[in-house]
Amino acid sequence: MVFNIRLPRIIGAMVVGAALSVVGATFQAIFKNPLVSPDILGVSSGAGFGAAVAILANAGTYVVQTLAFLFGLVSVLITYSVSKVYNSKGTLILVLSGMAVSSFFGSLISSTKFLADPNNKLPEITFWLMGSLSSINSRVLVPVLLVIIMGSFVLILLRWRLNILAMGDEESQALGLNIDRLRLIFILISTLITASAVSISGVIGWIGLIVPHMTRILTGPDNNILLPASISFGASFLLIMDNIARTTFLVEIPIGILTALIGAPLFLLLLRKGYSDWR
Amino acid sequence: MNCLEMHNGKGLYNKKIIFENVNFKISKGEIFTILGPNGIGKTTLLKSILSIKSLDGGEVLIGRKNLKTLSYKDISKAMAYVPQVHSFTFPFIVLDVVLMGRSPHINMIDTPQEKDIKIAENALKKMGIYHLRDKKYSYLSGGEVQLVFLARALAQESSILVLDEPTSHLDYGNQIRFLKTINELSENDLSIIMTSHYPDHCFISSDKVAIMQNKTLIDVGTSDEVVNSKNLKIAYDLDIDILELENKHKICYCEGA
């Protein structure tokens, strides 16, 4: 019981929270925009579509998770390729094509919902999209854990360069960075991390946007400190949320609902205290 | 010794020629000012010198090496850049901004060490802004930010500084103080390339001046040779006299302006 269900879920909550937060902090730096979250390039919608298709096809949990992971990668690949086809410099086209790809997959998700049997499949898809950590067991956790830990390790190694990327492309280049290559590395690793996390947890919104901000209020914007701090803040935050989700009511509340329900007011409180300090 | 030269430089922007046949040489410790009206392409030229934007013809040599054969890292060890405009995203503290100048000297997976912090602090002291060390750089005045970026460029320990209209956001006093700082830096063997809107500034600090007009540098030489009524007429379409004061210093004067 403890090792097969409880412990994997605790570890899962911490790892997913850490993953979304570290990617959020990374993306906010490379897109030079504090409003960016890990799904800016379409990873969540892609993963959501993959999961929905698998659920519709009556597939088992592992297939759902695998398809979610793969479609998460595919959507970001499309986003990135579009921006390359347009031969754009900078990140604006990347973000815009991310929005387009996101809404495209969003529509595909809606069509799977439309086709789904409203008695069993539809609720299943809907619950997946609201996020839940209840399907985590030790077998699925290990590969996901490996990807996220290794990916986060690389992000931590490269974290100081994020400070420079946040200054803008031209300055970064004049400071000796190969920005195209560096940005690709960051996007690739971040996407692997996010897709892995989303594949076992479903779409848990808000964390990747808000945890880096809450952390920044405490640590300041230096990514040397911000990135590791976001990891531990994100891990604790999602673990606490999951405990509340599991234990508050007789029925488990989808965690995606809770993160925003509790996270939003908490964020506003912190904002009131710290806004002048970080902006 | 020439430390940087451009041969037949040509640059396009949106397929339009911005400049062509641009030739100049800069020696060690020289201050080179490019004068020209708004929108003539001075910034584009600077970016091509820095290789932020690649040349569409001709070449830039540093020492004897073609810029095209060098990596971004090598280029940034040779040249540091102070941009004209900067958009603030995150409120980094001044020391962290100056530390970014250490980037070409730090391995990809490393972070700044004690030694780098020392170098950054020395750069702050040299610019006389050590007291701003722990302030958020986005809260500073335009003049202070300019000095922070200059300190960052110094921390880069390159031999050439490229400054894009460094005096344009400064009040009169800070403009003059800034030019004096530039003069001091060049006495320490740093070469400086900058663009400017003020012909007068060339008489304060410039070993070499170029006038940019009609998509090229129409004249290159010492400030005494180049900053004259004829060139300024071409550059700004105004009749400007160059007056000499009793102490031999020159100033520009425009009748009826």
pLDDT block averages, 10 residues each, chain A of length 279 = 83 96 96 88 94 92 92 94 82 91 95 93 91 85 94 97 94 95 95 94 90 90 96 96 90 87 82 59
CA distance B94 to B138: 9
Starting at the edge strand found earlier in the chain, the sheet holding B2-13 runs: B16-27, B2-13, B57-62, B65-66
What CATH fold (topology level) applies to the domain B2-254?
Answer: Rossmann fold (3.40.50)
Tell me the angle at which helices A92-115 and A121-130 cross, rounded to the nearest 10 degrees. Answer: 150
Nearest to A164 among B83, B87, B103 (CB): B103
CA A221 centroid distance within chain: 20
Distance CA B168, CA B166 (A): 6
pLDDT, residue A256, reads 87
**B160-163 and B31-35 strand pairing:** unpaired
Give the per-residue pLDDT at B169.
83
Burial call A183-212: b when 16+ CB within 10 Å, e when fewer: bebbbbbbbbbbbbbbbbbbbbbbbbbbbb
Question: What is the spatial distance between Cα B179 and Cα B94, in angstroms, rounded to a whole number?
Answer: 22
Residue B52 tokens read as 């932020």
Which of the residues A28, A167, A223, A279 would you substitute to probe the B interface, choosing the one with the greatest number of B C-beta atoms within 10 Å?
A: A167
Strands B79-82 and B160-163: parallel
Comparing CB atoms, the residue among B71, B86, B104 nearest residue A175 is B104
Query: CB of A127 within 8 Å of any CB in chain B?
Result: no
CB B133 within 8 A of CB B124: yes
DSSP code at position B252: E
Q: Where are the domains positioned within chain B? A: 2-254
Contact A234, A214 (CB under 8 A): no
pLDDT at A72: 94
Nearest to A210 by CA among A241, A189, A182, A179: A241
Task: Pick the residue of B100, B145, B158, B162 with the most A CBs within 10 A to test the interface with A by mutation.
Answer: B100
At residue A29, the pLDDT reads 94
Question: Which pLDDT score is estimated for A186?
Answer: 97
Provide CB contacts within 8 A for B189, sequence distance 6+.
B28, B29, B159
- CA neighbor of A41 nearest in space, from A166, A194, A147: A194
Evaluate whether A4 touches A140 at the Cβ level (below 8 Å): no
Alpha-helical (H) ranges within B127-228 are 142-155, 172-187, 199-204, 223-226
Give the number of A-B residue pairs with CB atoms closer than 8 Å: 82
Domains of chain A, with CATH numbers?
A: 2-278 (1.10.3470.10)
Interface with A, mutate which of B14, B87, B90, B161 (most A CBs under 10 A): B90
Residues from chain B that touch A220, judged by Cβ atoms under 8 A, are: 91-93
Q: What is the pLDDT of residue A179?
A: 93
Beta strands B191-196 and B160-163 are parallel
How distant is the Cα of B48 from the closest Cα of chain A, in angstroms?
A: 11
* A279·B89 Cβ contact <8 A: no
pLDDT along chain B (257 residues), means of 10: 87 92 94 93 94 93 92 95 91 96 95 96 95 94 92 96 91 91 93 93 92 93 91 90 88 78
- Residue of B72, B133, B135 to mutate when probing chain A, most A C-beta within 10 A: B72
Residue B204, SS3?
Answer: helix
How is the beta sheet containing B216-221 ordered, strand by strand? Answer: B79-82, B160-163, B191-196, B31-35, B208-213, B216-221
Q: Which of A158, A174, A216 sits opposite B52 (nearest CB)?
A: A174
Tell me if chain B has a CB within 8 Å of the CB of A165. no
- Whether B100 sits inside 8 A of A167 (CB atoms) is yes
Q: Tell me the pairing of strands B57-62 and B208-213.
A: unpaired
Distance CA B167, CA A11 (A): 56
CA B230, CA B199: separation in Å to the nearest integer? 13
Q: Estimate to the nearest angstrom the gap between the alpha carbon of B16 and the chain centroid.
A: 24
Q: Which residues of B54-84 are buried (b: 16+ CB within 10 A; e: fewer)?
A: ebbebebebeeeebeebebeebbbbbbbbbe
A176 and B79 within 8 Å at the Cβ level: the answer is no
- Which pLDDT does position B257 carry in this prediction? 56
Residue A9 contacts B, CB cutoff 8 Å: no
In this prediction the ipTM stands at 0.92
Cα-to-chain-centroid distance, residue A198: 7
Instruction: Residue B93: list chain A partners with CB under 8 A.
Output: 220, 222
Residue A249, classed as helix, strand or coil, is: coil
CA distance A86 to A186: 20
Q: Give pLDDT, residue A138.
A: 84
Q: Looking at this protein, which amino acid is placed at residue B11?
A: G
